[in-house]
Chain A
Amino acid sequence: MFGLLGPNGSGKSTTFKIAVGLLRPSDGRVSINGKAPGTLAARRATGFLPEDSTLLPFLSALETLKLHGALAGLSRTDATRKANELLERVDLLHAAKRRVKGFSKGMQRRLGIASVLIADPEVFILDEPTSGLDPLGAVLVKDLIGELRAKGKGILISSHLLGELENVCDRVAFLNKGKLLNEGTLEDLLREKEVHELRVSPPDSEAIKALEELARERGLKIVRSGSPMRSLEAFYISVLGKKDDTP
């Protein structure tokens, strides 16, 4: 799983469009499973979720997935079965017959992801997959991506939310104004080798004071000490629960 990071206009989406054969590169070479982008073999191997996933507004969610199933070469029966499975997976089964026009942005995004999944491609190219999703929706999408990763699918992903990529990517690259600034594993890029963090539980104040004293005696500088704060996302999930669906 490879993450692309960079500010707006850095070339992330353009890179993705080149990878799916919608744009031709001015320089360099791209291949998907050894095939040139845009060829039928590469197209069949690729699932692409663009940043701005505008769906056909007057089709229902089920019809949208069946259309993508038909485009992926599934029979009508298989497409219907798989569409229903995916709607359940992205928590949209209750809205299967509703027209996409009435969907919230988050629901549309989840449907977009399901439409990519129905073809079961080898490589996923996901441009800001959690953009517009509420925290629960984002967790659902992150779970889906985790499942794909566990299945051994190749994933090329971009996101503005750095924390999202931090937890899931094997490698990341930083782009700015079309230039590659840095690239490597998260371990290589993010590890602060001059600092060590130790977390203990329960927070026994006597024991912590003794540890701090020992550290000072050894000549170490204590950068921070105290109870860590949970992230707002983690708190949101603990309060609202995963089953809640806010359209």
Chain B
Amino acid sequence: MIGRTLAIAVAALKEALRAKLSPLAGLLLLLLVPWLARLFGQDDPDTQAWLTRSITTEGLRVVLPLLAIVGGGFLLRPTLKRGWTALPARRSEYFLGVGLTGFVVITLAAGLFTGGGLIANQWLDSDLTVTAQGEKISKQRRLDGALQTAPGRDAIYTWANPAYSEELVVELPERETGRLRGTIEYQLVWTREAPPRDRSPVSIWIENDGKRHELKTTVQSRYRIEFEGEGERGKLVIQPTDPVLIVGTTPDRVRVELSKVNSTGSMYRLFALSASASLLCLALVMLVRSLSTSPTAVLAGLLLLATLTLLPTLAPASQMAKDRRAAVAGEPDEEHWINLEEKFDRLPQLYPEFYFDEFLAARNVPDEIWSEVAIRLLAALLLLPCGAVLFRARQIAK
């Protein structure tokens, strides 16, 4: 059985890889992210960083599972025309063989797309997705508010006026390396008392036990500066240097590179999560397809289901829509049919949104994602034998 299943899987894989458009599709998947980031990001590192993150994230979160759903609808051919190749084998083996091929193709596609994200990171700027610990910095800044002119909150700028010797102070997060590296994005207010003097309006220092030493800085854009230097612990001090420019920033815009945090690791984790979720979609579609001869009917139903439940960002019952309705109509009646939306919301999500949001905010995707990956992969692998049994039992289409 294993030999026959593998023989079918290998033949189907050869078919898929030798199709006329396969090399083009592979190349497109690999180069899509760097190309779009370069095309629309122009020479602005911030825009390129945002594009790299968001294209990679949305591609893995939304596009890949949708492609898996559509592909799964057409992957299995229960008609005699194509399925007859498998007649010497049992049809359950045909189902499993084709399913395995689908798994390999989806994983390859996800790998190429993620590879494109990695290429974009390396090609455009190695720090595009380097992370900071926004919440921690914000909290520390509230505690160390002596030199601040406004309370530090994520969305609110804190300003430092050089006329009053104000500085912005950021507590450094725990790191394992003595090498300090990161970026700061800021806004400027010009007092119009004189023209600005330098290209860089700030100098960056590290302060430890009352002693300060200046870090090496590189201006990356008008509102973004990179800093680098030695320093294990202490505080990061952003000192305005131009008397006519008031400098402001938010904790989210101070990004410090941590030794264990790197964009590559985060992307690998997103790749694994997305590939496993897409495989689950594929296995689910194949299970339903094993009962139906019409791929369009299967696809219509599954896409509706996916739109309503599996992809909550597209769902009409998202939290934002519910809040809006609650604000207008008040609290809905518990017994009312409209609560169906709420019930849909309680269904398990295809993805934990949190991880993608973290990546999109240039933060690290944590290690605990692997349990999520394992659950989805296991579910997909369990669905395959179920589909094989159903496919074995049904009659072939005339």
Chain A residues at the B interface, C-beta cutoff of 8 Å: 14, 17, 20, 22-24, 40, 43, 48, 50, 52-59, 63, 67-68, 70-73, 99, 119
Q: Name the residue among B84, B85, B86, B88 with the largest chain A CB count within 10 angstroms.
A: B88
Docked CA distance A71–B86 (Å) = 8
B15–A70 touching, CB < 8 Å: no
Closest residue of B by beta carbon distance from A52: B81
Docked CA distance A23–B80 (Å) = 11
Docked CA distance A99–B11 (Å) = 13
Docked CA distance A20–B19 (Å) = 31
Q: Which of B78-97 contact A (CB under 8 A)?
A: 80-82, 84-90
Q: Which residues of B contact A50 (CB under 8 A)?
A: 80, 84
Are A54 and B395 CB-contacts (below 8 A) given A43-B90, A70-B7?
no
Q: Classify the interface of chain A: helix, strand, loop or mixed.
A: loop
Q: Which residues of B contact A14 (CB under 8 A)?
A: 398
Min CB gap B161→A, angstroms: 69
Min CB gap B90→A, angstroms: 7
Task: Say if the beta carbon of B18 comes within 8 Å of chain A.
Answer: yes
Question: Which of the residues A22, A56, A67, A72 comes within 8 Å of B80, measured between beta carbons?
Answer: A22
Docked CA distance A70–B88 (Å) = 10
Question: Which of the residues B4, B85, B86, B90 comes within 8 Å of A55, measured between beta carbons?
Answer: B85
A56–B84 touching, CB < 8 Å: no
Docked CA distance A70–B396 (Å) = 23
Docked CA distance A22–B395 (Å) = 6
Closest residue of B by beta carbon distance from A56: B15
Q: Which residues of B contact A24 (CB under 8 A)?
A: 395
Q: Which residues of B contact A119 (CB under 8 A)?
A: 88
A70–B4 touching, CB < 8 Å: yes
- Chain B interface residue number, banded: 20 to 34
Task: Say if the beta carbon of B197 comes within 8 Å of chain A.
Answer: no
Closest residue of B by beta carbon distance from A118: B88
Question: Which of the residues B14, B82, B88 comes within 8 Å of A68, measured between beta carbons?
Answer: B88
Q: Classify the interface of chain B: helix, strand, loop or mixed.
A: helix
Are A52 and B8 CB-contacts (below 8 A) given A24-B395, A58-B19, A68-B88?
no
Are A59 and B14 CB-contacts (below 8 A) given A67-B7, A71-B4?
yes
Task: Say if the beta carbon of B3 comes within 8 Å of chain A.
Answer: yes
Closest residue of A by beta carbon distance from B11: A67
A-B contact pairs, 7 of them (CB 8 A): A23-B395, A52-B80, A56-B11, A59-B11, A68-B85, A71-B7, A73-B4
Min CB gap B4→A, angstroms: 5
Docked CA distance A4–B72 (Å) = 38
Q: Which residues of A contact B398 (CB under 8 A)?
A: 14, 17, 23
Are A63 and B14 CB-contacts (below 8 A) given A17-B396, A53-B84?
yes
Are A48 and B14 CB-contacts (below 8 A) given A23-B396, A67-B7, A71-B7?
no
Other than the known A40-B90, A67-B85, what 10 A-B pairs have Cβ atoms closer than 8 Å? A14-B398, A22-B395, A53-B84, A54-B81, A58-B14, A59-B15, A71-B86, A71-B88, A71-B89, A73-B3
Docked CA distance A58–B23 (Å) = 14
A-B pairs with lowest CB-CB distance, top 10: A58-B18, A70-B7, A71-B88, A22-B396, A71-B89, A67-B11, A58-B15, A54-B81, A50-B84, A23-B395
Q: Which residues of A contact B82 (CB under 8 A)?
A: 54
A43–B88 touching, CB < 8 Å: yes
Closest residue of B by beta carbon distance from A57: B15
Docked CA distance A67–B13 (Å) = 13
Q: Which residues of A contact B4 (CB under 8 A)?
A: 70-71, 73
Q: Which residues of A contact B11 (CB under 8 A)?
A: 56, 59, 63, 67
Closest residue of A by beta carbon distance from B97: A71
Q: Which residues of B contact A43 (CB under 8 A)?
A: 87-88, 90
Closest residue of B by beta carbon distance from A40: B90
Docked CA distance A24–B396 (Å) = 9
Docked CA distance A56–B8 (Å) = 11
Q: Which residues of A contact B87 (CB under 8 A)?
A: 20, 22, 43, 48
Min CB gap B370→A, angstroms: 36
Docked CA distance A22–B7 (Å) = 21
